[in-house]
Structure 1
Amino acid sequence: MKRNTRIVAAVIAGLASVILAASTLCTWAIAHGASMRWRLLFRLLCHGIPNRCLEIWHVPMPICARCTALYAGFLAGILLFMLLPRLQEMTARWILGLAALPMLLDGITQLATIRESTNPLRIETGLIAGAAFALWALSAVESHVLSTA
């Protein structure tokens, strides 16, 4: 893995880890008496509708199940990038597009009130899309580094 790719991987992993850790810490604090208003800090990242959030310590997390899974998927995608043979950027882009389709369909059918999604489905679609995004981002950086070297 090239230096620039390692830097991008570290930034993606760092941001995802900080968001997941902060969300968990916020949930823990609320469960132990802090104000629910602390959830508002996460509104820039996610809608945080309580019935769409995972619960820890009987308190909904400030980011929804899908966003939680997206951030976890970013971490999984970094691992996949390190374990799998290198992909061409275009191949990774196609994988990302295909991986985003289930999430898109789930969101659209819910928005159109055709059906209500479930947290397990939100987690599955978020993990897949998050992993594919990280895989694409790192493949794009690696391809760019190779083409300019």
Structure 2
Amino acid sequence: MKYSKILCHRLPERSFHYRNHQFPVCARCTGFYTGLAVFLIYNYFFTVHYSLTLLIISIILMIPAAADGFTQLFGWRESNNNLRFLTGFIGGIGLIIFMKIAIRITYYLIGVYL
């Protein structure tokens, strides 16, 4: 098994290409990583108040990526790279917010306060 396929399937028809070179990850993963990076940069410059409402919003933000992926996986419809990127981007923002809240809760439960 190739180690590069552990994090992403890297199918050529589901990946972006630039000058005949395939991106190292698929369109959805490109969106996820871009969303993660954009939110982390935003979070560096602006204060984000993590709350239960934001946790619920983060879960809602991940739903389009899951719906897009599962409907394509089960063959109910065929997605395109632009939609994959967009749902991945939105899902990436939701995922990083969810992870930051989960880390804060874990630290709180073990007695480490941030």
Do these two structures clear the TM 0.5 threshold for a shared fold by scoring above it?
yes
Larger CA Rg, structure 1 vs 2: 1
List per-residue Cα deviations over 1:66-123 (Å, max 9, x = no partner).
Answer: 01111111112213434253121x3333122211111111112212222110111011
Of 48, 68, 90, which residue of structure 2 is paired with 1:85?
48
Select the structure that is richer in helix.
1
* Letter matched to residue 48 of structure 1: R
Q: Of 54, 76, 95, which aligns to 1:114?
A: 76
Counterpart for residue 3 of structure 1: none
Q: Distance in 2 between matches of 1:54 and 1:66?
A: 10
With normalisation by structure 1, the TM-score equals 0.63
Compute the displacement of 1:143 (Å).
4.9
The letter for the 1-side match of 2:50 is L
User: Which one of 34, 38, 41 corresponds to residue 76 of structure 1?
Assistant: 38
The alignment of Structure 1 onto Structure 2 pairs a total of residues equal to 109
% of aligned pairs identical?
29
2:95 match? 133
Task: Spell out the pairing of 1:56-75 with structure 2 (5 A cutoff).
Answer: 56-75=18-37
Q: Deviations over 1:20-43 (max 9, x none)?
A: xxxxxxxxxxxxxxxxxxxx4421
How big is the alpha-carbon RMSD for the aligned residues of Structure 1 and Structure 2? 2.1
- Residue identity opposite 2:63 in structure 1: L
Instruction: Determine helix, strand or coil for the equivalent of 2:25.
Output: strand
Which sections of structure 1, spanning at least 5 residues, go unmatched? 1-39
Matched, 1:97 2:69: no
SS in 2 for 1:105: helix
Distance in 1, matches of 2:20 and 2:89, equals 23
CA distance in 1, matches of 2:3, 2:105: 36
Cα distance between partner residues in 2 of 1:62 and 1:127: 16
Contact 2:62 2:91 in 1 (8 A): yes
